[in-house]
Amino acid sequence: MTINNHSNTGYSTVNGLDMYYEVHGNGSPLVLIHGGGSTIQTTFGNILPLLAQNRKVIAMELQAHGHTSDRDAELSFEQDADDVAALLRNLQILKADVLGFSNGAQTAMEIAFRHPELVNKLILASTITRRDVAPPEFWNGFDTATLDVLPPPLREGYLKANNSEAGLLRMFKRDVHRMKNFKGWMNEQLSSIQAPTLVINGNHDVGTMEHAIEICRLIPNAQLAIFPGGHGTYLGAIEALVDGRWPKFNAAALIEEFLDQ
């Protein structure tokens, strides 16, 4: 599905970046933060139009991803969180629901830690908080990763947003470097999150279902949902779909129900 009928698109000067953003729909603000190697379209192209029917959806592309420029600094979840917070303030969004997928969920957690005043409700989709919850081969793969391991839909999605092979390689190297150095978060940090939180995972995700349960138990006011499928199938993330088909049993209605509670 292609995102249509943009309410507003543009660039905002954010901590030295020209950050690309889109605003869709009207109503209570909902922030969408894409995964590593992704764009707004590749992560959220299927689900965004559904969420924008009743909400003001704000989506952005993070440092070096998609349309957004790069800076002379490696990626960090802390910096991404500060960038998203700065964008929201530039857009005069004082408080919003925040949904992050994969690396975007880790950025969403950092927003909850660093900028709790901005977060109404939090949705953590397909995230991990420790190295030991993913198999060793997942981490070992980053030691030898080359651009050809990037799923073709993500490669095509980047080049559609920014027709630059050099930019694509730079984004890939930045994402790999961050994951090679991933340290995670302490249980005490997760327990400090005060926002009502929905934890979502696939039953064949990068992180195990048991880890999703653990996250849910650590965050004081959290709920849990497990969907069939892999890393982002339930959101319609393009790299997770078989033959491009988004399952009818997906997370859209659940997300709406959680946010309406």
Distance of CA 226 to the CA centre of its chain: 17
Tens-digit pLDDT profile for residues 179-194: 999 999 999 999 999 9
> What CATH number corresponds to the domain at position 22?
3.40.50.1820
56 part of a folded domain: yes
Instruction: Flag whether 119 is in a domain.
Output: yes
* Joined tokens for residue 204: 């064949």
Give per-residue pLDDT as tens, 193-211: 999 999 999 999 999 999 9
The tens digit of pLDDT for each residue in 51-63 reads 999 999 999 999 9
The pLDDT of residue 89: 97
The pLDDT of residue 7: 67
Expressed as residue numbers, the domain containing 231 is 8-260
pTM of the model: 0.96
Query: What's the confidence (pLDDT) of residue 249?
Result: 87
Better pLDDT: 17 or 1: 17
Residue 1 lies in a domain: no
Give a yes or no: residue 3 inside a domain: no
Tell me the C-alpha distance between 211 and 228, whole Å. 16
Alpha-carbon distances of 11 from 19, 49, 146, 194, 261, rounded to whole Å: 5, 21, 30, 31, 33
Cα–Cα distance between 251 and 51 in angstroms, integer? 10
Query: Quick check: helix, strand or coil at residue 253?
Result: helix
Pairing mode, if any, of strands 8-14 and 96-101?
unpaired
| CA distances (Å), origin 46, targets 51, 67, 221, 224, 245 | 10, 19, 28, 22, 10
Task: Look at the chain and count its residues.
Answer: 261
Provide the β-strand partners of residue 60.
21, 33
CA distance 46 to 146: 28
* Average pLDDT of the chain, as a whole number: 95
d(CA 94, CA 48): 21
Quote the number of domains for the chain. Answer: 1
In 3D space, the residue among 100, 85, 96, 86 whose CA is nearest the CA of residue 35 turns out to be: 100
Chain Cα centroid distance, residue 215: 17
Question: The sheet that has 197-202: what strands, in order across it?
Answer: 8-14, 17-24, 55-60, 28-33, 96-101, 119-125, 197-202, 222-227
pLDDT confidence tier of residue 1, bands split at 50, 70 and 90: very low
Least confident range from 65-74, 147-156, 175-184, 237-246: namely 237-246
| Domain annotation covers residue 2 | no
pLDDT at 90 over 70: yes
Helix (H, G, I), strand (E, B), or coil: what is residue 112? helix
